[in-house]
Amino acid sequence: MSSRPRLTVVDALLVLMAGIWGVNYSVMKRAFVDVPPLAFNGVRFVLASTLFLVAIAVVRRRWIAREPTPLSRIIYTPARLSARDGWDVVWLGLVGCFLYQTCWALGLARTTASNGALILGATPVVVAMGSAALGHERLGRTHWIGAALSALGLYLVIGRHASFGGRTWRGDALMLAGLACWSIYTIGARRLMSRHSPLFVTGMTMTAGTIPYALLALPQIVRVRWTSLPAIDWALLAYAAILAAGAAYILWYTGVQRLGAARTSIYSNVIPIAAMAAAAIWLREPMTPAKIAGAACVICGVLVTRVQG
């Protein structure tokens, strides 16, 4: 019998995750017209963290006596939070939420969107190398072929517009720091994920990182006239908090729990494709043959990585 991995419901959920994060680029771009980036990001993570804490409390009360199911493994954590778990939550939150979001926001303001997307497009390779070096995952030749195909596709979509050095070097350096933070966040949660659910790990680490981020953003937050914002901004905030900072984060860690960090990270290259599609529909940006070819390469890379193992 063949032991090759097959596409599963988790793969479909990770495609959904990529779609949510891809659309979020257009959402954030529109929201920043009326609300400063740091203030908007701070409020959305406070809202998302609050919803996570409420969900964790409700799930603990309602699921404690039930039999384990595929759903319960995503949202319910039977293990108690040990002292070591607590320290893991704190440092993962600081690295994966506070530092990553700070580097991403400040870096994107100092470099081009193409540079930023191309740098973060290295996530699958960095995560795969880290996981392999630590002995967490054994990756075959086809995984690297799939990663290379996805990287080629990403270059066709956005890479030709990238230009490193000169005035963008500070932003590029911050984006590289953000790449390191997200990779550490993804790989470093392995022990926590073996004991706790994606809902719990995501909610607790996000809360730990949101506290310093909100304090950093507080001066901007208090200057915004929130009651005067149009309804569209509140709808964008709801999308960015509930779906992009809530559901999509859970789906990411569900993939890490079920598929491993390296195989989950390959789906991050689908995000620019989703962002491109959203921009074409919403912002009427043109779809060129190179972009279509790049999208096809990314999809083929994901399929090779997952189906062939």
Of 74-83, 190-199, 221-230, the one with minimum mean pLDDT is: 74-83
E-strand ranges in the chain read none
State the pLDDT at residue 308. 54
Domain ranges of the chain: 9-307
Report pLDDT digits (tens) over 233-291. 999 999 999 999 999 999 999 988 888 888 888 888 788 777 777 767 766 666 677 66
State the pLDDT at residue 202. 92
The angle at the Cα of 177, spanning 176 to 181, to the nearest 5 degrees, equals 120
Q: For residue 63, give both structure tokens.
A: 């699921």
Decide which of 35 and 70 is more confident: 35
Mean pLDDT, residues 152-167? 66
State the pLDDT at residue 20. 92
* Rounded CA separation 261/188 (Å): 10
Residue with tokens 């996981």: 131
Mean pLDDT, residues 146-175? 72
State the pLDDT at residue 144. 73
Residue 101 CA from chain centroid, whole number: 10
Decide which of 51 and 106 is more confident: 51
Mean pLDDT of the chain, nearest integer? 82
At residue 199, does pLDDT exceed 80?
A: yes
* Rounded CA separation 8/296 (Å): 20
Report pLDDT digits (tens) over 77-128. 767 888 899 999 999 999 999 999 888 877 877 776 666 666 777 788 788 8
At residue 2, does pLDDT exceed 90?
A: no
Residue-by-residue DSSP string for 57-115: HHHHHHHTTSPP-TTHHHH---S---HHHHHHHHHHHIIIIIIHHHHHHHHHHHS-HHH
State the pLDDT at residue 70. 59
Mean pLDDT, residues 196-208? 92
State the pLDDT at residue 63. 61
At residue 65, does pLDDT exceed 70?
A: no
